[in-house]
Amino acid sequence: MIWLDWLVVAIFCLTSIGLGLLLTKRAAKGIESFFASDRSLAWWLAGTSMAATAFSSDTPLLVTGIVRRKGVWGNWEIWALAISTMFAVFFFSKLWKRAGVLTEVEFVELRYSGKEAAFLRGFKALYWGIFYNAFIMGAWPMTGLAKVMQETTHWGKAPSILFCMALTATYACLSGYWGVILTDFFDPNNVGVA
């Protein structure tokens, strides 16, 4: 990368941290401010962020692998995900906001009762919290991110991952969901998503 490329990267990183600092006071008002943007976020904005997260740094690598193995017709796997993601943007996110819950486990508690519901809440908390979020949403995008960073910066895998995790954790911890939303819109490749 030449100096101009590094300048663009520096501006992106500083803007991400700046957004985090700018929104710190808003996020610090309470748990609903941090995790749900005071419930003042438009449903379409939250849904668009969900779609941006679904198509982050790992998606181009996934699509390339599918086309290489199965040919262009294999992209229907991705189109099926795109269709469900658009349902999340235009339908489910609006209903989720109306339910007034912060987590899916809270929704299960609100909707269902009894021993079966308690089991479901525990299973969902463990499955989504450990397996899905840590492995699927963590390791897979991080692998894609590491490949992109290694090619563009010529850094090693570990420094690339540590740098991006530190940047993302900083603005997300400072600003809560508002910072994540704004950074989703700021980042055209969506590689810095919390």
Are 175 and 8 in contact, with CB atoms under 8 Å apart? no
Each residue of 131-146: pLDDT tens digit? 777 776 667 777 777 8
Q: Would residue 193 count as lying in a domain?
A: no
Q: Would residue 150 count as lying in a domain?
A: yes
**Which domain range does residue 52 map to?**
3-186
User: Is the whole model's pTM more than 0.75, yes or no?
Assistant: no
Look at residue 156 and give its three-state secondary structure: coil
165 falls in which pLDDT band (50, 70, 90)? confident
Q: Would residue 191 count as lying in a domain?
A: no
pLDDT of residue 130: 80
The 10 Å Cβ neighbour count of residue 141 is 21
Count: domains in the chain = 1
Distances (CA, A) of 176 to 11, 28, 31, 54, 138: 21, 8, 9, 19, 18
Mean pLDDT comparison of 43-52, 89-98, 109-118, 129-138, highest-scoring range: 109-118
